[in-house]
Amino acid sequence: MAVFVALGAFLMTLAGGWVAQRVTDRRHLVLGFAGGLMLGVVGLDLLPEALEAAGNEIFGVPAALLLFVGGFLTAHLVERSLAVRQAAHGASEERVPQVGMTAAAAMVGHSLMDGVALGAAFQIGGGMGAAVALAVITHDFADGFNTYTITSLYGNARRKAFLMLFADALAPIVGAASTVLFTLPEQLLGCYIGFFGGALLYLAAAEILPEAHHDHPARSTLLCTVGGVGFIWLVVGIAE
C-alpha cells in the first residue's frame, strides 16, 4: 500500500518540476515562489517534525536545533569551498553548478526519507499511513518545483535538472519499498530532518530569494514568496 501511495508522490514531484520549467519567462516569480515554499517547508513542516522526533537535548539545546544550525553552516561551507575552488581556476564565483547538484541531491535524500516515513506509518496503521500519505503527496509538488529550480539556477543544463527531478520523484518509491527490510529509528529520522532543514533554509535565504529580487525587486515577487509560505501552511493544515 505504501509503495502504491508513493506512486502518487512520484507524479506530484514531476508535476512540480514541469510547472517550474514552464514558467521561465517569469523567472523572478518562480524563484520568489520557490523561496517561499522552501521557507514554509522548513519552518512549518520540517523543524516542528524534527523537534518532536529527535527528542533529547545536548547541553541544554534540542538535538534537532543543533543539527539545524549544523545543516545551515554545512551548506554555507560547501558553497564557499566550491566557489573558491572555481575562482582558483579562473572562473566566476557567481554560480557554481556543483552547488546546485549538491542541493538537488539533498532534496533527493529528503524525498527518500519521505518514502521511509510513509512506509513506517503504514506499518503502524492505516489511519497513520493515510495522514502521512496526504502530507507526502501534497508537499512533493513543492519538492519537485524546488529540485528543478535549484538545479537550473546554478547553471546546470536542463538535462541535469530533469535527471535530478526524476531521481527526486523516484526516491519516495524506493524509500517506501525499503521499509519492508528495515525500520528507521524515530530519533535518527528527526536528527536528519533537522540537519536537512538547516541546509534548505540557507539555500532559500542566501541564494534563492536574493536572486529573485536582484533584477526584479517587484511587489509581485514578494507576493509570490508569501504565497509559497501560505501554500505550505495550507498543506500542513490539511495533513494535520
pLDDT tens, 18-69?
A: 887 777 667 677 778 878 888 888 888 778 878 887 778 888 888 889 999 9
Q: Of 143, 133, 112, 107, whose CA–CA distance to 16 is shortest?
A: 143
Using the 8-state DSSP alphabet, how is residue 58 labeled? Answer: E
* C-alpha distance from residue 148 to each of 69, 106, 110, 112 (Å): 25, 13, 15, 17
Sign of the C-alpha dihedral, residues 121, 125, 130, 131? negative
Q: What is the band of 184 on the pLDDT scale with cuts at 50, 70, 90?
A: low
Does the pLDDT of residue 90 top 80, yes or no?
no
CB 147 within 8 Å of CB 108: yes
Mean pLDDT of 90-96: 54
With a threshold of 0.75, does the pTM exceed it? no
